[in-house]
Amino acid sequence: MMSERSTELDSLAERWGLSSLEPAGRGLEFSVYRAQGRDGQPVAVRLAHRRFDSNANDPQVDTRALLLQEYEIARHLAAHGLPVAEARELVLADEPASPDVLLSAYVPDDGSDLDSFALGKLLARLHQVPPPGLKLVASEGVPTASAITARIRRRWAEIGHLVDDWPGPPDASLIAGRLAGLTEDSLLHLDVRSDNIRRRQGRAVALLDWSNALLGSPSLEFGRLVEYARYPENELDVAAVRSGYARTATVPPDSDPSLSVGRLDAALMLALVFLSEAPDPNRGPAAADHARELALRMSARHT
């Protein structure tokens, strides 16, 4: 039941008065455990596998920075009435070999089908909340437009190491031009999919995992939603999301130039997931072909 972190977990469980600690999920950088708190309520314990990590999409991952970001965003959004998992305590390890750990409320999920219309209304609320005063990890210390332009080029090159006859990247000036009007007025989740949405009777009761968050225009969020919706397990009906969103906010049109960049950015990320991080002999090549087609369409519209 316990991982290689059993000693640290036992110590933290005693400190926090936790019982019935059991694995609840594992990703590239973090493991999540469910436990019972002193008050009898379920809690989630999220710990990093290591201090720094690397994968095909993100060669330099600072897991401490991601946990700090998760803690601060959750607290910020909870203060504005958004459904998140309440962040309770963050423990940063003194020793390099020990894990950083975040304790949060555990939000139950009833296993119901996702209500995409309600999700759209929630995303409109999210995009209208004043952004937190944080330097978000995914921005890599530069404006969002610059960060996305750079990571598209980096991920394009990474796919070139995995796919034969992979063409050269789209012109960086083309990407930058399509992002020229991008604002940083909204907090974007950029990983909205079934696995990151706890729900009750279809409605989201918590948005989880803010590792991909950026400040930007809602068009980037919709670009990623369109790409995620291509995979059934993400349970996204983009038309219904748009309808729900339109109840309180303006839906970015498909013609928005930054939406096409958001789609390419997401498609490249997914291609690397299926080619390298979670290899799939069918989805990997198909995802790479799709990303290449999106880039070709973008270039064709530019000429």
Q: To 10 degrees, the CA torsion angle through 289, 295, 298, 300? A: -80
Helix, strand, coil distribution of the chain in percent, nearest 5 = 45, 15, 40
pLDDT digits (tens, 9 = 90+) for 5-51: 567 778 888 889 999 999 998 888 899 999 999 999 999 999 998 88
Q: What's the CA gap between 169 and 292, in Å, rounded?
A: 9
Domain 116-302 class in CATH: alpha beta
Distance CA 233, CA 244 (A): 21
Q: Is 232 exposed, middle or buried (0-12, 13-18, 19+ CB in 10 A)?
A: exposed
pTM higher than 0.85, yes or no? yes
The full set of domain ranges for the chain reads: 6-105, 116-302
pLDDT at 1: 35
pLDDT of residue 190 exceeding 80: yes
Q: How big is the CA angle at 73 (ends 252 and 36), to the nearest 5 degrees?
A: 125
pLDDT at 2 (0 to 100) = 41
DSSP state of 284: H
Distance CA 121, CA 200 (A): 15
Of 303 and 131, the one with more pLDDT: 131
Rounded CA-CA distance 294/301 in Å is: 11
SS3 of residue 179 by DSSP:
coil
Angle at 16 (CA atoms; ends 11, 21), nearest 5 degrees: 70
- Tell me if the domain spanning 6-105 has CATH number 1.10.8.10: no
Q: pLDDT tens digits for 73-124?
A: 999 999 999 999 999 999 998 877 678 999 999 999 999 999 999 999 999 9
Longest dimension (CA), the chain: 64
